[in-house]
Amino acid sequence: MAAELRSKHGATVHVLPADLSAPGAARALADAVAAQALTVDVLVNNAGFGQYGPFAESDPAKLTAMLLVNVVALTELTRLLLPGMVVQKRGRVLNVASTAAFQPGPLMAGYYATKAYVLSLSEALSYEVRGTGVTVSCLCPGPTHTDFVANAALESSKLFDAPGVMPVGPVADAAYAGTLRGDRLIFPKLMNRVGTLGARFLPRGMLLRIVSGLQERKSPG
């Protein structure tokens, strides 16, 4: 991708690989950025993954890695890079959450909880930085066709058989436009927003049954 951006668009690209599930990775990445004297105007916290299945049967190591990537690295990178944006009085932060952030998620309990954290943090920071020239936005897409599905072993989940699963292009376009506008919450399509409103008003027991039903495995054949 870096080679394509350089050859087709003449962009200057710095590639700094990092395993964000490793403790201290966010600090090391921020230090690497500083060592190259780069100014960060936009931070996109898009790294993340999920874990499917009953929580009591989940892989403890994968669960910890998910928390480190989805929560800890996102928080640390934002904390390390946001002050520079505030000082220069311009900047954009985009944190990627999910419509999963608005309700508990049986069979993906840990993942849904991480996205609820991202939503809460992002909304609070959006309020804190108002008037500074910096904005914090939170992207809340519904199910989207990406490698996330295979990585989370979700191929057999009913959720991705439901109508309305989006291709990645329109989600990225909505994220880009919403971030430039400084929107606090970004929903790639209207039904994402409507679904989150429904989650707020449904009785919690009913909501749990609905989400659990969507997350269940499809019947063979």
| Active site members | 111
What's phi and psi for 157, nearest 5 deg? Answer: -75, 140
Q: Is 97 exposed, middle or buried (0-12, 13-18, 19+ CB in 10 A)?
A: buried
Q: Which two tokens stand for residue 57?
A: 């049967």
Burial of 202: CB neighbours in 10 Å, binned 0-12, 13-18, 19+: middle
Answer for the pair 107, 212: CB distance below 8 angstroms, yes or no. yes
Between vectors from CA 90 to CA 118 and to CA 41, what angle results, nearest 5°? 70
What SS3 class is residue 189?
coil
